[in-house]
Homo-oligomer: A and B are copies of this chain.
Amino acid sequence: MVVYAGQGDARRSMGLLWRGARTEDVRPGPKPALTVDIIVDAAITVADSAGMAGLSMRTVGEQLGRTGMALYTYVPSKNELVDLMYDKVLIELPTDYDLDAGWRTAATAWAWDHWAFYLKHPWVLQVSQARPVLGPNEYVLLETLLRILFATGLPPKMVKRLVGTLTGFVRGAVQVVAESRQAPAATGMSDDEWWYTRSALLMEVAGDFAEQFPLVTLLDSEQAYQMEDETVPYLEQEAIETFTAGLAVILDGIEARTT
């Protein structure tokens, strides 16, 4: 299920995202042993290892030796927590791309950095993009990409559209790999194993496959399961090639507009 940005009190939610120096005013009651940051870090740890499916208020609480309910003292809901996780984890992405070698080199590096980032934190792909969290780091990221794209010399309107195209492309491409890595844990079967089993069954169940789908058959016979690097699953090799080629095609398209 897709997680939406918090609908609670917008002011509180924005305050949490852009929270500055800790308000150190003395207050009654026991000293809080946790902080929002500690909770967000714990939640990211949980999501990194157990995926979005394994992220629950209880699991995060237990990670910190608390109950799930304890978190509600610091964070209004799970949605807000996810927003905070999302914005916080974005810090890991680089922001200083050298434009001396040209915008294309920078854009390529940018794309691969995002690829690696999403594979490290696959759950990020499941945070809704429709309603940007509007956190500080998301804007840092956007500013970074804009700097690269403005270097093309294209008009702002075009740049704006390319932002969506590029981020959408990267997310779409990496999603295939991210999900294929999460899936085995859920099914107890490696991705390649799964493919092999299903393919065999397919031929058994759909007898006239080759006649019904000649082009698919042609493509499969072209390079059927030639493992170039046995340490990387076949599906991932393909995804990497698709990503590389797709990126080149898009950048070619952009380049054609700059001249």
Contacts and interface: CB of A to CB of B under 8 A. Distances in A.
Interface in A157-195: 157-165, 167-169, 171-173, 175-180, 182-183, 186-189, 191, 194
Interface stretch (A32-40, A105-113, A141-149): A141-149
A202 interface: yes
A104 to B, nearest CB: 13
A233 to B, nearest CB: 11
Given A157-B223, A245-B158, A169 B165 contact: yes
Interface stretch (A8-16, A21-29, A65-73, A86-94): A8-16
Nearest to A168: B172
Interface string A208-227: 01001111101100110000
23 contacts: A1-B126, A2-B182, A18-B205, A129-B175, A130-B177, A130-B182, A130-B191, A131-B180, A131-B191, A136-B206, A140-B213, A146-B216, A157-B223, A164-B173, A164-B238, A164-B243, A165-B169, A165-B250, A168-B169, A168-B173, A252-B252, A253-B253, A253-B256
Interface of A: 1-2, 4-5, 7, 10-11, 14-15, 18, 52-53, 126, 128-131, 134, 136, 139-140, 142-143, 146-147, 150, 156-165, 167-169, 171-173, 175-180, 182-183, 186-189, 191, 194, 197-198, 201-202, 204-206, 209, 212-216, 218-219, 222-223, 235, 238-239, 241-246, 248-254, 256-257
